[in-house]
Each structure stands twice: as structure tokens, then as C-alpha cells.
Chains A and B, each alone.
Chain A
Amino acid sequence: MSRSTVTAKPPAPGLVPDTRGRRLPRTLHPVAWWIWALALATAVSRTNNPLLLFLVLAVLGYVISMRRTEAPWARGFAYYLYLALTVVAIRVVFRAVFATGITPRDHFLFSLPHIPTPDWYAGIQLGGPVSLEALLSAATDGLRLACMLCCVGAANTLANPKRALRVLPGALYELGVAVTVSISVAPQLVQSVQRVRRARRLRAGRHKGLRALRGIVVPVLEDALERSLRLAAAMDSRGYGRAGTATRRSRRMTGALMLLGMCGLCAGAYGLLDATAPQLLGLPALAAGAALCVAGLRLGGRRVTRTTYRADPWLFPEWAVAGCGVLSAALLFSGAGFDAAELNPSIYPLSWPTLPPVPAAAILLAGAAGFLAPPPTASRVPAQRTEETT
């Protein structure tokens, strides 16, 4: 991945480093990756065409192999692919086992033994004849879901979660601190467990399995809690809990906004579900409630003052990456220049799906993120940038 196999001369001291036409490596803003991936997932939700879906997977694979870092969270994409396979398999198997019979137009494949279910369990059939069409439709639908899952996986792989934590609103400052603490403490816990186990071996602790649980858990927990008290003292001495600019009035206002917003959300949820509720109670009430809650969160953020050390910039590459994802979704939803039926090819009559050119181009456009984003930091110096906490 490190394409910068540098044979260049070292830069002259005091000058801007010569990048020889290449861009300087830096991490893209995590929100840009998330927008890109979610837009692609939205585009995927529109289509059922297996050719387009495989194209999406190829694009994801290309972008990830171009722009992923060496960080621990960047190794997870393979698990998402396994998960995707499982999703497809579950869908196909369940379609075959919990069948609903076949029509005369279907191609008969094989028949599973029919198992009768009791009368009171009406509507659920087990076994019976299985058709090719049923399995194909289950597989393509499953593939769509799997593709959406892989888009989310790609965002997880590409975006740096520690830097994403900064996007949390000020009202959730405490949550962010707790999560940051836990991410930094987790590796120390592993060391703690190793220390305890070594001590047990030295003392010839013979218990194995579940019986050893107590002997390991308690010392590790004691260690962790001890550490938390030390950490709290350190936080106190560095001025944690400093009050922000919130006045008594603005706090009351925050509370009122939140409560009103929650009531709006409740009314909206009720309106969404009940058929007799007036139209206004559905999505409009939900949106109004959400807006009130967001306003409350903004106002509540005044409780704390935060300063940013090394802000993540939002420059041209961020606009470009987010933009190509959104544009690809917009193209697929606009239906311009292609027949919408080509996105969801029918399985009656059974035929090989065609690859419509405009949607394919739209998906390839999303793949442009692979070179629009700046290259990630070279693998030799990941320790400095990825270990740093917010």
C-alpha cells in the first residue's frame, strides 16, 4: 500500500518538503468517509441488480486497499465480508426451509421433506418444494443487504474513530471523555491480565477455566478501580469540571427544550404507527421533536467549554470524497438516462441481468474517492498519529 517508495533526495533544510507532485499524506476527516459510505449504502438500497452490487463491492475493495491505515480498526473489513456471506446464506437457507410453495411458472429445483406444524401455529410451513426463482430472489436481496453492511464496514475501516469522537456535541462531553478514557485504558488492562496470570503461575495457582475466573477477575478489577481513582485525582488537578458559560436561565431553557422535544418525538412515534392519527402527528411531529432536541443539545453544550488541539481541517479532498458519494446516490435516485426497471431486473422470465451504463458509471464515480482522498500516513510512522487521543 505504501506507494511512496521514496527514492527522492531528502528535502533541503528550511524549505517546504518536495513532494514531487504527490500530495502530503494526512488522514481524511472521518465525517467525510462516513458521508461517502452512507451515501453509497443509500445508492445500494435502490438496486437489486447483482452485477451492480458486485461492482459496489469491487469499488469498496479498491478504495479500502488504497486508503486504509495500519490502525487496529482498519483490519476489520474481512470480518464484514464474512458477515455479508452469512447474511446471504441465512436468507437463502431460510427461504428454502421455511418455504411458501411454488407456482406453476417456477423452475422446480428440489424438494425438502414437508413437516406439518400444529393448527394453532398457522401460516408457518416447513419444507416442501423449492424453486430456482425463490432462491435467486433471496440471494439477490441478501446481496443487497450484504452490500449495505459492507459500506458501513468500509466507513469503520477508513475513518479514524478517535477523531470522530470530536464530532460529539458539547452536551455529551462527559460521554466522550468516558469513551476516550476507556479506549486508552483497554491496552493497559491486557497488560494487567498478563501480570496477574504470571503471578498466579509463580504461585502455582492450579485452578483452570471457570474456577480461575475469580482469581483473575478480582485482582484485575482492583487494579482498574485503583487506576480510575488515580485518574480522577489527575483530572481534578487539571481543572476538570470547570463551568462553562451556561446561566441558570439557559439551563432551564435547555431542560424545557429537551422535554418538549421528547414529547414531540413520542407524539410523532404514535402518529407513525396509528392509522387513525391525523397526518400532522406522523413525520412532521417527529421532525419538530428532533429539531427541539437538537436545539436543546446545542444549548446544553454551553455547560462546558472545550478547546481543540490540532483541529481536523475540512478542505477540498473532504468535499470531493463526500461529494462523489452523494453524487452517485443522487444519480441512482434521479433515474436520469436509464430505465428504472434495469435496477431491479425481474426474475420472470428468468434471464441474465444487464449492466445499465449510467448506474454503473455512478458507482464507479464513487470509487474516485480512492484517489481523491489524500494518501494515509506511511506505515513507518503510524505510532505518532494513531496513538494520539482526542
Chain B
Amino acid sequence: MTDRATAIRIAPRAGLVIALASFLGVVAFFWPFLVAPGKFGSNYAPPLIFGVLLVIVLCVVLSEIAEGGINSKALAMLGVLSAVNAAIRPLGAGTAGIETVFFILVLAGRVYGPGFGFTLGCTSLFASALITGGVGPWMPYQMFGCAFVGMLAGLLPKATGRREVLMLAVYGSLSGYLFGFLLNLSFWPFSLDPNSSIAYLPGLPFTQQFHRYLAFDLATSLGWDTGRAVTNFVCVTLAGPAVLTTFRRAARRARFQAPVEFR
């Protein structure tokens, strides 16, 4: 039993599915920069198409992860930790809301492994949306983003002691920025008047389009994202060591991958 207990194992087949899913995720978020001019008629259609696509992809990935077997202890822990996340999500300052979710997500992903991180990212946001009445077309994008934040936290390199906490804190704040950047990108194409000079304009060359998006990101949410990054950094540095110890103790007691013997 190593220090990093894997609560939910990712089978090779699930790994392959996740790789395909990440390709689709990149397409679903970055399509405004990738699409050839004249392929889409309206600015409303692609976000919906890709939203449905992400729902299917998430279903397939979660089903494949579950195929490998989620034992009752991992499942109960998943439920309880998503409840913790759903409960602390409204504590974040208002609508941006994700500030405090990453804190538990990153630490749990680190301790319980990438499979658990991925699933926790999905269940946390799903439960939170159900409790607060926030189900909508934005959910697949948020779930996808959070799932990858949790999974990548489980794939971080080995480190111990202070270096580990520092690494997780930096990762938490970076992922806060990246999450904001991607989520903005998901609603940028239709949220502004097309005649505004920072709106998405189909058919522009990449650099101009990217400049427009950067200006939009700067004007709307850089403040939020900075707040989120700082909160993550401070939370992980202050409470990280204690929470990591708690999680590891629980992992030892749960013995997720205990060998089954018949005598």
C-alpha cells in the first residue's frame, strides 16, 4: 500500500476513452478559434451542439470509469466529499462561485488518484447544481472543466512535505485561472452584441479573434479569476497539510484496494 491510495482505478479502456474525451473537450471549448469561416450559421447553435456533445462524452467516461468497479467505500466517500464541496460552494463570493470548490477537489484528487478526482469534479458540480437549482446548458462545460482539474491533480508528480503543499497551491491557483479562461470562452460567442468590438466575429483570422477574446476576458472576469486563484493558494497553503493528513488517514482506514482472500 503506497502513500497515494487509488480509490478508483482507471482501466486501460477507460484511459483511452478519457484521451478521446480530452480531444473533444479541447474542440468544444476552443471552437471559436478553430472553425473554418462559414461553417456555422448562427452563434447560438455551436455552443448547444458542443454542450450536448459534452454531456454524451461525460456519460461515456463516467460509465467507463464505473465499469472498472467503484466499491462502496469509494462511492460513499465520493458522495460525502461532493456534499462538502456543494456546501462550501455558495461560501465563495457570489456568482463566480467556484472559488472554494477547487480547494477540496485538488487535495482529494491528489490523495485518492485521478479517477476519483475526475468523478468528484463531476459529482460535486452536479450535486451543487441540483441543490441550488442551477441546472442548465452551462453545466456540462463546468463539469468537464472541474473533472479535468481533479484528474490532473491526481497526475501531478511525486513530492512530499512543504514542496508538495507548494506544488498543490500553485496548481490550484493556475487551474483557477485556466478554468475561468475556458468557461468564459464557452459563453463568449453569444453573450455579446455582434457589433461590439470585443465580440466573437465569425471568420476573423486567429490573432485578431484571440485579441478580441483576451480583451473580453480582461474586461469581464480577470478580477474574479484572480480572486479565485488567490483564495485557492491561501486555502491550500493554510489548511492543505492538515487536510492531506486527514484524507490519507481515511484512505488508510478505508483500504480501497484491499486484496480479497478466500480461505
Contacts and interface: CB of A to CB of B under 8 A. Distances in A.
Q: Do A and B come from one complex?
A: yes
A229 B254 contact: yes
A293 B59 CA distance: 9
A134 B195 CA distance: 8
Contacts of A157: 133
Interface stretch (A17-25, A55-63, A263-271, A321-329): A263-271
Interface residues of B, number: 88
B167 to A, nearest CB: 19
B132 A76 contact: yes
Interface string A212-254: 0110011011101101110110011000110000000001001
A210 B17 contact: no
B73 A303 contact: no
Nearest to B250: A225
8 contacts: A124-B211, A152-B136, A211-B238, A224-B81, A229-B253, A231-B80, A266-B23, A290-B52
Contacts of B192: 90-91, 94-95
Contacts of A171: 59, 63, 66
Interface string A183-227: 101100110000000000000000000110110011011101101
B37 A275 contact: yes
A74 B198 CA distance: 36
A179 B126 contact: yes
Contacts of A225: 77, 80, 246-247, 250
Given A227-B80, A241-B71, A94 B127 contact: no
Interface stretch (A137-145, A338-346, A378-386): A137-145
A161 B135 contact: yes
A332 interface: no
Contact of B134 (A74, A156, A224): A156
Given A134-B193, A255-B64, A296-B63, 8 more contacts: A123-B211, A124-B212, A138-B196, A179-B79, A186-B131, A214-B239, A229-B254, A303-B66
A190 B62 CA distance: 29
Q: Which of B31, B124, B135 has the most CB of A within 10 A?
A: B135
A76 B79 contact: no
A74 B133 CA distance: 7
Closest 8 interchain pairs by CB?
A: A181-B79, A275-B36, A76-B133, A182-B83, A171-B63, A73-B133, A156-B133, A228-B80
B215 A124 contact: yes
A174 B52 CA distance: 21
Contact of A125 (B56, B137, B197): B197
Given A232-B76, A240-B72, A123 B60 contact: no
A311 interface: no
Q: Main secondary structure on chain A at its contact with chain B?
A: helix
Interface of B: 13, 16-17, 20-21, 23-24, 27-28, 31, 34-39, 44, 46, 49, 52-53, 56-57, 59-60, 62-64, 66-67, 70-73, 75-84, 86-87, 95, 119, 122-124, 126-127, 130-137, 190-193, 195-199, 204, 208, 211-212, 215, 219-220, 234-235, 238-239, 242-243, 246-247, 250, 253-254
Given A218-B242, A255-B13, A181 B80 contact: yes
Contacts of B242: 214, 217-218
A354 B22 CA distance: 48
Given A181-B83, A231-B76, A262-B20, A221 B208 contact: no
B196 A94 contact: yes
B60 A297 contact: yes
A375 to B, nearest CB: 21
A175 B78 CA distance: 9
Contacts of A240: 72, 75
- Chain A interface residue number, banded: 35 or more
Contact of A273 (B36, B62, B76, B191): B36
A180 interface: yes
B211 A122 contact: yes
A364 to B, nearest CB: 25
A246 to B, nearest CB: 9
A145 B127 contact: no
A273 B13 contact: no
Contacts of B212: 123-124
Q: Which of B49, B52, B133 has the most CB of A within 10 A?
A: B133
B84 A175 contact: no
A12 B45 CA distance: 57
Nearest to A276: B36
Given A73-B131, A76-B133, A175-B62, A236 B215 contact: no
B187 to A, nearest CB: 10
Contacts of A273: 27, 31, 34-36, 39
Contacts of B35: 272-273
A83 B97 CA distance: 14
Contact of A179 (B39, B82, B95, B190): B82
A210 B69 CA distance: 39
Contacts of B16: 259
A72 B130 CA distance: 10
A182 B127 contact: yes
A232 B72 contact: yes
A221 B246 contact: yes
Nearest to B28: A269
Contacts of B66: 171-175, 303
B139 to A, nearest CB: 10
